[in-house]
Amino acid sequence: MSADVELQNVSVTFGSFYAAKNVSVKIKQGEFFSFLGPSGCGKTTLLRAISGFLDPSEGKVLIGGQDMAGIGPNKRPTSLIFQNLALFPLMSVADNIAFSLEVRGVSKIKRRERADELLELIALSGQGDKKVHELSGGQRQRVAIARALAIEPEVLLLDEPLSALDLKLRQKMRTELRAIQKRVGITFIYITHDQGEALTMSDRVAVMNEGELEQVGLCDDVYDFPNTPFVATFVGENNAFYSKVISSDGETVKVESEGNVFIAKAGKIDEQNKHTFNKGDEVIMFIRPESIFINNQNNKLDNNFVAKLNTIEFEGNLKNIYLSINPNMNVRFSVPNAVDTSDLSQNKNVELTFSSEKAVVLPKGSLAVD
């Protein structure tokens, strides 16, 4: 069984502070949905409103079409996985997993059967009698998932459960979480500040900032067609060119920035509509570091500019190259490590090029990195 979750104009206030402001979103049945945002953006507040630990000050939470007002967390068809997992340290692994059955008066034998079944699901067969502290971080993670799944919830809520793991394990757990979600087929609502996690696992993401939804959409849509400057800079890396509109035909926009003229796509307002721009509008043009190339005869694209090289930063698979167009205007691009950069020396002027297809123009707004 799986249920959809709908938030209708949900606001949560603490005094005069809005932790969540007028959030409306519909999460489909069986979907892996992520709320992505910086810490303090209100995503955990929303999760607590869905799980029932917190009542929205305004608006409604509907699960499976049913209004959840006045229904406590122990009566909702949701299970929550906590950031620190909150496994019960004094109980065995099997007792942890079967706790939700124990409180429902299921017999000891049945409980054990179900625990063993779930231990198999999370590839920990035969470890039911261990104590929680005898398991590794990744194993605990899986036990927390099994414990949450034991009563077959319709919606599983996950509050940054991977944040305590180290990088390798986190990457492995992403794949596993996704696989578990496919196997059990229930709705997963995932909270994270890590865009990598959100983009790799989710069907759709909602980007949040200061209690409000900035954009809801498919992962590649959010990455390729950000609706706001915040989304453009929070999800992935981006270069922001503060510019003025020269002309616009609805689809493409010609802008001027620090003496350079660029052509770019007009950004979207939502999934259907695009922003309209008029001559002289103050805008930001965004171009991602991986979409900028060194200009040579083979790959001349429709936008070109020159910048002076500052530093080359080695990141393993990538090299990040920092340049400045002028003292106020920096730009960064990245090339795969395999690309030879030995002819780039400091203070050398480099000719760069990018496609107008990859550049997005949005009205001026606050960036994630400000």
Q: Residues interacting with another protein, by CB under 8 A?
A: 51, 53, 72-75, 78-80, 82-84, 86-88, 90-91, 99-100, 102-104, 147-148, 150-151
Residue type, 268: K
Is the Cβ of residue 74 or residue 342 nearer to another protein in the bound state? Answer: 74
Residue located via tokens 């590649």: 220
Q: Closest approach of Cβ 77 to another protein, in Å?
A: 11
Q: Closest approach of Cβ 190 to another protein, in Å?
A: 16
Is the Cβ of residue 78 or residue 233 nearer to another protein in the bound state? Answer: 78
Is the Cβ of residue 37 or residue 153 nearer to another protein in the bound state? Answer: 153
Is the Cβ of residue 42 or residue 52 nearer to another protein in the bound state? Answer: 52
Is the Cβ of residue 86 or residue 369 nearer to another protein in the bound state? Answer: 86
Is the Cβ of residue 104 or residue 182 nearer to another protein in the bound state? Answer: 104
Is the Cβ of residue 54 or residue 359 nearer to another protein in the bound state? Answer: 54
Q: Are 60 and 83 in contact (CB under 8 A)?
A: no
Q: Closest approach of Cβ 184 to another protein, in Å?
A: 17
Q: Closest approach of Cβ 143 to another protein, in Å?
A: 12
Q: Are 278 and 248 in contact (CB under 8 A)?
A: yes
- What one-character DSSP code corresponds to residue 30? T
Q: What is the dihedral of CA 78, 82, 83, 84, to 10 degrees?
A: -170
Q: Closest approach of Cβ 146 to another protein, in Å?
A: 12
Q: Outline where the chain has alpha helix (H).
A: 43-51, 93-97, 99-102, 108-121, 137-149, 167-184, 195-201, 219-224, 229-234
E strands along the chain, which residues? Answer: 5-14, 17-27, 32-36, 58-63, 66-67, 78-81, 155-159, 187-192, 204-209, 212-218, 239-248, 252-257, 260-266, 282-287, 293-294, 303-314, 318-326, 329-336, 349-354, 360-363
Q: Closest approach of Cβ 164 to another protein, in Å?
A: 13
Q: Closest approach of Cβ 109 to another protein, in Å?
A: 19
Q: Are 156 and 177 in contact (CB under 8 A)?
A: no
Q: Closest approach of Cβ 173 to another protein, in Å?
A: 19
Nearest-CA neighbor of 229 among 202, 261, 268?
268
* Backbone torsions φ then ψ of 30, nearest 5 degrees: 75, 10
Q: Are 39 and 368 in contact (CB under 8 A)?
A: no
Is the Cβ of residue 90 or residue 338 nearer to another protein in the bound state? Answer: 90
Give the Cα separation of 202 and 318 in Å (integer). Answer: 25
Q: Closest approach of Cβ 182 to another protein, in Å?
A: 24
Quote the tokens at residue 163: 């944040």
Quote the tokens at residue 236: 């992935």
Is the Cβ of residue 73 or residue 196 nearer to another protein in the bound state? Answer: 73
336 CB-side CA count, 13 A: 2
